[in-house]
Amino acid sequence: MTLAASAWSLPRVGVADDAATSPPFRVHAWQRDARNPVLPPGGGEFDKSCCMNPFVVTREGEYWLFYAGGDAKGHRRICLATCPIDDVTKWQRHGPLFDLGGKGSFDETWCVLPCVHHIGGKWHLYYTGRSAQSGAGLQGFWGMGLATSDDLLHWTKHSPDPILTGDGFADWPTNRGIAGGGPIEELPQPDGRTLHRMHYTLPTGTPSKDLLVDQAKQSVVAHSFDGLTWFGKRVELRPRREADYENAATIALNVWKTKSGYRAIYAGIGTKFGAYSICEATSSDGVTWQRGAPGENLALPPTGKGWESKMTEYPHIVREGDHLRLFYCGNGYGATGIGTAIAVPLA
């Protein structure tokens, strides 16, 4: 056990959910914006093929949207776009914030899935790299990197090496895959310190024609006091074989506090759609999660014949006045861009 972890112990975790006696699970009544996608690809060479993985910071009356933009050569980099909170169609695109890693690095071809949080007087931007390893499938995403900033505009990579990797889980002792994208919670401790809980994804799949094998992913968490050393890794939410829209994968939870506990939104992959769809979960303690009976927690499925007809994924929630605003992606993992929806918060 590390020195940072020695004064803190993992809570007792129950992974079972969905008691038969529970009342019907309620999801938010999401109202999609008729102007979607509000951030389509094509703002520049840096994002002409995709805009994916929205992560939003609210700052001085504006939304600062961090996302992964894809260029014509298939490379993806972390980019920034800003807009007034009162009009989510008026985006100014600022382009990539830093470049890809060098030959043989964990982020040689892609930097995706941003997670932004203020820790220790600096902005931390965690991102997932994709190596050039041929035929690796999900295991080609084997490191999460870190960049830091004083102003959210100018970023410096902390190290050429990943700060977090996909090991440390007893059920998958040889796993390498890791993917970020979820937010960080702040947990005040009795000694006055703040414990940071990062929600991220453990891709355990390997290349296969079987979706349940190829796209296997688990929602997981890790903890840190300084944003650099992470410990206390555990599985947060697993795929449900009985729910055909999330029987292959569940990815990083977006968690927020409510009057009665906690709620979360995330995406699952299943055989029903063959790709992602957006789901919800609830918790009384922020540790053990409930999803109701199969079908009850499916919150924003693919719909229509347009930009989100095949998949909905990469959800991120922000509070906006008396309602919640959801940013998410549509078909092709961001190939059709980023859209938005709003809902009245549930208790």
Q: How far apart are CA 206 and CA 144, in angstroms?
A: 19
**Residue 40: pLDDT above 60?**
yes
Q: Which secondary-structure segment (H or E) carries 305? A: none
16 in a structural domain: no
Residue 23 lies in a domain: no
pLDDT one-digit tens code per residue, 83-100: 999 999 999 999 999 999
Q: Is residue 126's pLDDT more than 90?
A: yes
Residues 6+ apart with CB under 8 A from 100: 75, 77, 107, 108, 109, 110, 111
For 18-120, where are the E strands, in sequence order? 31-32, 50-59, 62-70, 76-84, 92-96, 110-119
pLDDT in tens, 213-263: 999 999 999 999 999 999 999 999 999 999 999 999 999 999 999 999 999
Phi, psi of 184 (to 5 degrees): -110, 130
6 token code pair? 């020695």
In terms of phi and psi (left: phi > 0; alpha: psi -120 to 50; beta: otherwise), the region of 89 is alpha
Decide if 45 is inside a domain.
Answer: yes
- For 80, the domain range is 31-343
Indicate the number of domains in the chain.
1
Q: Mean of the per-residue pLDDT values for the chain?
A: 94
CATH number of the domain that residue 283 is part of: 2.115.10.20
Q: How confident is the model at residue 17 (pLDDT cuts 50, 70, 90)?
A: low
- Residue 1, in any domain of the structure: no
Question: Which distant-in-sequence residues (6+ apart) come within 8 Å of 234 by Cβ?
Answer: 10, 13, 220, 221
DSSP state of 308: T
Residue pLDDT, tens place only, 42-81: 999 999 999 999 999 999 999 999 999 999 999 999 999 9
Domain annotation covers residue 221:
yes
Residue 210 lies in a domain: yes
Q: What gap in Å lies between CA 253 and CA 183, rounded to an integer?
A: 8
* Token digits of residue 107: 């982020």
State yes or no: pLDDT of 296 exceeds 60. yes
On whether residue 13 sits in a domain, the answer given is no
DSSP state of 130: E
Residue 4: inside a domain = no
Q: What is the mean pLDDT of residues 290-309?
A: 97
